[in-house]
Structure 1
Amino acid sequence: MPSSTAPYIGRFAPSPSGPLHMGSLVAAMASYLDAKVHHGAWLLRIEDLDYDRNVDGADAAILASLRRCGMTWDGEATWQSRRLPLYEAALQRLREDGLVYACGCSRKEIHDSVLRAGAAGNGAMVYPGTCRHGLAPGKVARGLRLRVPDGEAAVYGFVDRWHGALRQHLADEAGDFIVLRGDGYWAYQLAVVVDDGEQGVTQVVRGADLLDSTPRQLYLQDALGLPHPGYLHVPVVNNALGEKLSKQTGALAFDTGTPALDLLASALLPAARFLGLDVQANNLDDFWRRAIPAWARRLSERP
């Protein structure tokens, strides 16, 4: 459970690659309800660093949809693209500590190396550290990687408030990972850790598709001298093919400008049911009044 001594600060951090769909609504609802149950703050951060995927106007549409659903955030919404000096400063600290190195491997080269490693029987389907000790002659940097520890120091565990105790051996299961991409874009892992630390986030509630990223983020937090927040990863919504619902898999917007009652019936109540909440409501205010204690009961059922 969240600490009773530290103020609860949560957040919802969508990417503006399109309008919100049911999968993102579930994540937003879970993080919003968790903040409300713990009488905390709920921040909104637009993660718009993958400029090639950003859709014009999607950020404004996201804000409008949240408001139409009755979810209001604390303080001003923030955009990652306006926080670039923070990432530069973090990278400089990692450089000074000797944790960052240039990687000249293409995706195909990494893929081929991983296949060869697997064929050799070591099962290490991760970046094999080709450039760890310097670029090969004729190679140019395609990105910057963070060096992960070896041995027992590479084991990172945490207790997820939904899934229980989890652990990962970074060297064996993740490998050295990108913090600055070859196209100059900041990698998700670095940006999210810096943002959560700078904004004082104490509890991260998000989709279970990011469970695998959490140990890398814990390691980055240690490397940057940042505290570890608590984590809760809710199940993700899948499409009919069993794929995670996303813009890439054809997810449709749940908010098409319909009246509030239609939005309640078509989106909010189904999202609540997906989270295991038994909620009946006649309007938005009634929905949130009932959903908050329902979320508290749902949490009490977890490990």
Structure 2
Amino acid sequence: MKFGVGLYCLQATAATPRHPTVPYREVLADARFLEQQGYEGMWLSEHHFFYDGYCPAVLPVAAAALAVTTRLRVGTGMMLLPLQDATRAARLSADIAARSGGRLDVGVGLGYRDVEFDGKGVRRQDRVARHRAGLAEMERLAVPAGATVWNGSATPKGVARAGARGQGVLLSGANPLSLVRELAAAHRAGWEEAGRPGGTRPRLAALRNVWLTDNPAEAAAALDWQRASYLLYAGLGWSVAQQESTEAMDFRADLDKAVGQAVATTVAGPAGQILEGLQEAHEAGVDDVVFRVIIEGAPSEVVHRMLGRLADDVLPHLENLEAA
């Protein structure tokens, strides 16, 4: 089992205002810090036309983070492929992957916000076709060239398609383990039914809301930070459709309920509790975990201290786990 940290959105929100250049300086410092602590990678996130400066171009940021490190992997979680020029995105991804020694993880998603499609002059109904064309262009240009292509999806059909292409999947941190288990099974089934392309089962990664602390007050604060971070999704109009195992999570229709469902996925407490939560994720089919701890209101020094403890007290006990 491998471990990364995210999502780095590079925002300057109303609750935590800062100069727009600050998060771009901090992400480079964090890349160095994560490499020193022994983490596998960091994950960036993309959105467009949001008030807080949410990162609109993840590949240049990924290139900068890769340039200041030598081992750390950097992933885009997710680059909104239908909004990109397919040839340019593929060529740039291939170039960054080659220059970094294959340390780029190219995560791609469909996108869902009308304002982003309207602002880019792309019809939302064309997003699936544009997404497929972008993936085909990446394959034509031999992306990842040592890197990894990941897909963002929250439906069994979507993750099965990724499995059928032999590509990995990165799941949302808001997904309860019941849904993670269902999606992991669909991903594996898609790969097997397609004839096991590539010969090696593609990995399934999942963002998980985790906070290691022995202090009950800090654990409560971590839940507040998670709650604040998910409130931002109300502005982004994010939702998860109902599945067999999990009811719908719609931040537009019922904000309080959706935020409560997302925050309830958090495991906050001492090392033993964190170990138990991560082992449960492993048993649900998760190969790699991305700790979702870059969240609204959490001070960077507190995040760094907690990540240092995770690296020392938890990860050594889990690094040899492989999903069954």
TM-score norm. by structure 2 comes to 0.28
Between 1 and 2, higher relative CO (CA 8 Å, sep ≥ 6) is seen in 1
Richer in helix (by share): 2
TM-score norm. by structure 1 comes to 0.30
Which protein has the larger Cα radius of gyration, Structure 1 or Structure 2?
1
